[in-house]
A and B are shown apart, each in its own frame.
Chain A
Amino acid sequence: DQQVKQNSPSLSVQEGRISILNCDYTNSMFDYFLWYKKYPAEGPTFLISISSIKDKNEDGRFTVFLNKSAKHLSLHIVPSQPGDSAVYFCAAKMEYGNKLVFGAGTILRVKS
């Protein structure tokens, strides 16, 4: 019962171009979504989040888009940099809930 899905195990992008990471969810009770970035042997680092009352949130090079009707969100990184190479996890949370439900992650490789 995988409620949060990241269907692309990996993505390779040229430096300076846009990286688009996708995430789908099945539980309509989720109302808060987060993206985390993880380097090997480290813990996940919070990147950006979005509430279900919004359809877009932007923070520097990172923008998250939410399409509630499609139960889909995406993370855009522009321009991509080699230091962005990492595993990206999408996570979701229910209103007043406490646990995060994670996707399996997407490995992003930014080539210089």
Chain B
Amino acid sequence: NAGVMQNPRHLVRRRGQEARLRCSPMKGHSHVYWYRQLPEEGLKFMVYLQKENIIDESGMPKERFSAEFPKEGPSILRIQQVVRGDSAAYFCASSPMFTAGGQETQYFGPGTRLLVL
């Protein structure tokens, strides 16, 4: 399966705990994006990363949220001290290196459903 992989698919945390969401991009893709979908809403951009670099984190909450894409291994979205409002579906997408015009398609993983009790 050469698609975008995310794990875990479901994650339950109690308020104050940490949540770690993992994403492995499609083979040959070097760009990773994280989106969040709240109930009854569309997906909202959070962060865009390349290997070892955060390129655009304009959609990330200022506190408690961080993301990384190390040289080796998957991209990680970390949420510290989770609150009930963090309950959502978190989707990772990947795309190949940019071509002229920037019209790359982003391919999405199956998502991680986070539930904060």
Residues of A within 8 A of B (CB): 4, 6, 32, 34, 36, 41-46, 49, 51, 89, 91, 93-105
Contact = CB atoms under 8 A, between A and B. Distances in A.
Question: Residue among A36, A45, A99 with the most chain B CB within 10 A?
Answer: A99
Given A98-B55, A105-B42, A43 B91 contact: yes
A43 B102 contact: no
A8 B44 CA distance: 19
Interface of B: 4, 6, 31, 33, 35, 40-45, 48, 55-56, 58-59, 91, 93, 98, 101-103, 105-111, 113
Contacts of B41: 104
B106 A100 contact: yes
Contacts of B113: 41
Given A44-B91, A89-B43, A99-B45, A34 B105 contact: yes
> Closest 3 A-B residue pairs measured CB to CB?
A102-B42, A43-B108, A99-B45
A100 B101 CA distance: 15
Contact of A32 (B6, B103, B110): B103
B24 to A, nearest CB: 13
Given A98-B56, A99-B33, A49 B105 contact: yes
A45 B43 contact: no
13 contacts: A32-B102, A32-B103, A34-B105, A43-B6, A45-B108, A46-B105, A46-B106, A51-B103, A94-B102, A96-B98, A96-B101, A98-B48, A102-B35
B108 A36 contact: yes
A93 B101 CA distance: 11
A44 B90 CA distance: 12
B103 A100 contact: no
Contacts of B103: 32, 49, 51, 93
Contacts of B109: 43
A96 B35 CA distance: 19
